[in-house]
Structure 1
Amino acid sequence: MWPPHRRCRWLSPYHAFQILATAFLLLSQCNSGALAKQQCRLNVHNQHVLDHDPNIPDGASLPKPNATTSGVAPTQTANSTGILNAPFNYGRDTIRGVNLGGWFVLEPWITPSIFEDTGNDAIIDEYTFGQLQDRNVALKALTNHWETWITEDDFAAMKAAGLNHVRIPVGYWSVPLTSADTKFNTSASPYIPGAWPYLLKALNWARAHGIHTILDLHGARGSQNGYDNSGQRTQNPQWALNPDNVAHTLDILRYIAKNIGGMLDVIELLNEPGGFMPPVAAVMRDFWMNGYNAVREAAGPNVKIMIGDAFMGVMNWQNFLTYPQGQGVLMDFHEYQIFSGLELDRDWTEHINFACTLIPTLTSFASANIWTVIGEWSNAPTDCAKWLNGRGIGARWDGSFRPDPSDTRVFGTCGNMTGSGSGFSQPYKAFLRKYFEVQVEIGDNIQGWIFWTWKAENADEWSYQKGLENGWIPQDPTDRMYPDLCS
């Protein structure tokens, strides 16, 4: 229990606004009729028959809801009206999903216009977006973005495209911790908070349209990898170097689990921690375990928990968080072939063949350890998308970006490899369809897949939405124009 002076501290105006806004949003939704029972119980702990985790021995007893060790309880799927009300059978049914990238965590390559409109080239991520311009100006731009980038129509379109999951990245700065929730400073400055009510709205849209949700903590205090997709692009990430940052992240996870755990199917503890950095690698096992326990203690056994391989390879996580240490746990593996000269040097056939080589390792891991999902992958065979490597940075593909000065290769011109799909050649579109199908095949051999990303302003090869419009992504993701690519 916190000392009295901490428990009785006045709320900041921001936190007061967040609480009122959240209460108003939920009350308005709870009074909206048929959805009320389903959408307004944020901490429901369903006690129906449990889904079977193939890694749990037959006859093993499972803990009751709110136990400190995990159980695997049903999450919700859609009935004929689209409203979620029955279990999704993780480990049996295939996750087919898409990421809502660039919504609650800005990335310059997804929404370059937001950064260009600042008129300041030094604004390179969400951290500097709040740091280097007037706060009210930044908040106005972000609010407009939150209100318009993803709408309910997008959820309807995802459902119509045969998708059953969305993965929603969120930064720690959008989680409205109060002093009652943490012993650490609750200020997120220079980040601009305010996205939480929009997240709640998204969870209700997902439920109304029969789509399951994975909430992904995409950015932690201090940055867990130094990438702009963590919120802060820096060569000196501090998350793992400061134990308080790691502890603060656990408080963020507790808050999410306690307050909206009943609305979520999966909580991903942290996106892409940079295990290639020794300080990060040194803390990851303890962080995954402590994060797992924090979510279980706060939300009980219903919600599934996702961890990642931290760029260390899934085989580095054998026998970790398996039964009885953990239950209802998924491994998130990301599959891109564009961030090194070795990968870019592959021709289109070699990209396809390399994707196929991932199947044996992933299926072996998934069958012997924990459920495994390709949580991020795309159609892109190049790094040509504007600012993909960071605002103001070029591409390895055309030699405008050389992270290794000794590597002077140029693989081609970016030309019509990115931008509008209307300019893509027919052979390129045919490759994009084939590349989509082979990566889906990987996911279908394990527990599923989640494409990155639903939309992007000016990089159609990365956009599920534009892939549907242009035909290289099928309207039914189980359709195959190129069956048995890996046989």
Structure 2
Amino acid sequence: MEVISNGVRSIGNHSDQEMENRNPKVRAVNLGGWLVTEGWIKPSLFDAIPNKDFLDGTRLQFKSITVGKFLCAESGGGSRVVANSTGTSEVAKPPAGSSSRWETFRLWRIDETLFNFRVANKQFVGLNSGGDGVDLVATCHSPGAPETFEIVRNPDDVSRVRIKASNGLFLQVRTEKRVTADYQCNESNAWRDKDPSVFVMSFTKRLEGEFQVTNGLGPHKAPKVMREHWSTFIVEDDFKFVAENGLDAVRIPVGWWIASDPNPPPPYVGGSLAFLDSAFSWAEKYGLKVIIDLHAAPGSQNGWEHSSSRDGFREWGDTDDTIQQTLHVIEFLTSRYTKSPSLYAVDLLNEPLAEILPLETVTKYYRAGHNAVRKHSPTAYVIMSRVLGASGPELLLPVASGLDRTVVDTHNYVLFRTKFDTIQDNLDFIYKDKRAQLDRLATPDGPLTFVGEWAVEWTVNGATKEEYQKFAEAQQEVFGRATFGWAYWTLKCAKHHWSLEWMIKNGYIKL
């Protein structure tokens, strides 16, 4: 494998001018799940994780056997932990990035047996520092030894657990208003219904992203597993396949830690940059364009696993440090690949989420991101992803229109936007709503438009192959109106209809 330190050397027969003279529209495919992990794309990546029920970001609830109510961070955090929730108490004014209930605890995994519990207001559960030091509180913002716990499961009924605190004793519910870590317990203790240390544990959500797989595997296993994945999941033959099947570009999701390669901050694993180098070399060899997509920003821009969120909170943009760090990543990637004729575009930030992130923060970053790209490349297109949850991608037109070679990216998943049960309803939505949206975005002298992600999947049950083909044709026809083109999500996936490779090989889609 060739590792390139100062931009990628051209190894193909395609000059910069030849690439520039092509139709600006792309018919692309995403290389999802490769350099940024998404567990649903390749579930086997998580097979070697010990105690993998408890990954970072797993959301848990604990119901006391004795009082019949849930452990709860009073007021969502900043006070004591009690056991008086019936399971229906919503946060009155949830903090940014949180729709969780006060009785939901998010795991931070220390190792396969020890954990921190984070609550709705982002504090950590621990033992109080005053008095006898056994009362349970949620007041700490930086977890240490007093915020460390072990979950002990009943081997005969794994939904029943005890929670051991850092003092070696177990939590017990004394009353609905007081939970303490002072219960003596040993293996002879039965899991009785009258035992105040026994809880019924339930899972409400889990994350399976890059942070979860690398931290779950640990520093000894993770490097071997991840490098094996990178070297086998996407290979040179995949680029050949893409080029031979009517596509002319790839969109490659990357994470912010790639700019620190070969020594990214733990738990991330070094080595992914060499595979991105190889991707550019393969793209040049087969005459493909490359769109670099910053899929995961420091602190997570949306709280989802594909942005490598640790626990489901969005913390990108909370401080200027995360934005400056992100701009450094954009500069690093652009400067590294600016000499490659395959570098076609840089996607500044995938799917920022409006409901937990001010639009002004994103647009300010997009302007700075455009400048960061232009420092190193006068020709690469700069892609600005629509802010999900905002009123529409039209909100980006003012900022994008004032800058050169800009593209507005609107992801179009029919599956997540609607719940149409009939084939015709789905087709009508594509031909009417989605077509009208793309037409509205095509403003004179405005930015180009891009459908950066779409897939042939819907909520229709029992659809035939011919009906899937019709659905694929409709999306190609309408999304082909985007002035910058489209990119299918994704090339390879355990779920067949999301895998363009499977869809092509099995005749579901023709390009």
User: TM bucket by the smaller chain?
Assistant: 0.5 to 0.7
Q: Which residue is 1:43 aligned to?
A: none
1:347 and 2:399 correspond: no
Q: Deviation of residue 93 (structure 1)?
A: 4.3
Q: Deviation of residue 128 (structure 1)?
A: 2.1
Q: Which residue is 2:3 aligned to?
A: 25
Bigger shift: 232-241 or 346-355? 232-241
TM-score of the superposed pair, with normalisation by structure 2: 0.64
For residues 196-232 of structure 1, what are the alpha-carbon distances to aligned partners after superposition, in whole Å with 9 as ceiling and x for unaligned? 0010001100110011000001001100001111012
One-letter identity of the residue aligned with 2:441: F
Q: Deviation of residue 446 (structure 1)?
A: 1.9
1:451 and 2:485 correspond: no
Whether the 8 Å contact between 2:261 and 2:271 is mirrored in structure 1 is no
For residues 288-347 of structure 1, what are the alpha-carbon distances to aligned partners after superposition, in whole Å with 9 as ceiling and x for unaligned? 0011011111x131211111111132111223222xx3111111110112236xx12432
Whether the 8 Å contact between 2:28 and 2:250 is mirrored in structure 1 is yes
Q: Which residue is 2:407 aligned to?
A: 330
Q: d(CA) in 2 for partners of 1:280 and 1:177?
A: 31
Greater helix content: 1
Q: Deviation of residue 83 (structure 1)?
A: 7.6
Q: Which residue is 2:477 aligned to?
A: 441
Cα distance, 1:362–1:156 mapped onto 2, change above 3 Å = same
Q: Which residue is 1:110 aligned to?
A: 41
Q: Which residue is 1:275 aligned to?
A: 354
Q: d(CA) in 1 for partners of 2:339 and 2:383?
A: 16
Q: Which residue is 2:319 aligned to?
A: 242
Extract unaligned runs of 5+ from structure 1: 1-20, 31-35, 40-77, 179-185, 383-410, 413-424, 478-487
For residues 405-438 of structure 1, what are the alpha-carbon distances to aligned partners after superposition, in whole Å with 9 as ceiling and x for unaligned? xxxxxx86xxxxxxxxxxxx7x521121111111
Structure 1 consecutive aligned stretches of length 4 or more whose deviation exceeds 3 Å: 81-85
Q: How does 1:90-129 map to 2 (within 5 A)?
A: 92-119=23-50, 120-123=52-55, 124-129=208-213
Aligned residues: 351
Bigger shift: 110-119 or 211-220? 110-119
Q: Which residue is 2:435 aligned to?
A: 359
Q: How does 1:169-208 map to 2 (within 5 A)?
A: 169-176=253-260, 187-208=264-285
Q: d(CA) in 2 for partners of 1:93 and 1:169?
A: 21
Cα distance, 1:288–1:449 mapped onto 2, change above 3 Å = same
Cα distance, 1:93–1:251 mapped onto 2, change above 3 Å = closer
Q: Deviation of residue 175 (structure 1)?
A: 1.9
Whether the 8 Å contact between 1:306 and 1:329 is mirrored in structure 2 is yes
Whether the 8 Å contact between 1:129 and 1:191 is mirrored in structure 2 is no
RMSD: 2.5
Q: Which residue is 2:398 aligned to?
A: 319
Q: How does 1:75-474 map to 2 (within 5 A)?
A: 86-89=18-21, 92-119=23-50, 120-123=52-55, 124-176=208-260, 187-232=264-309, 234-263=311-340, 264-277=343-356, 279-297=357-375, 299-311=376-388, 312=390, 313-322=392-401, 325-339=402-416, 343-356=418-431, 357-368=433-444, 369-382=446-459, 427-447=463-483, 448-456=485-493, 458-474=494-510
Q: Which residue is 1:15 aligned to?
A: none
**Percent pairwise identity:** 29
Q: d(CA) in 2 for partners of 1:138 and 1:100?
A: 21
Whether the 8 Å contact between 1:84 and 1:211 is mirrored in structure 2 is no
For residues 260-302 of structure 1, what are the alpha-carbon distances to aligned partners after superposition, in whole Å with 9 as ceiling and x for unaligned? 223211011111111232x3423011000011011111x1312
Q: d(CA) in 1 for partners of 2:409 and 2:400?
A: 13
Greater strand content: 2
When Rg is computed on C-alpha atoms for both structures, the one with the higher figure is 2
One-letter identity of the residue aligned with 1:265: Y
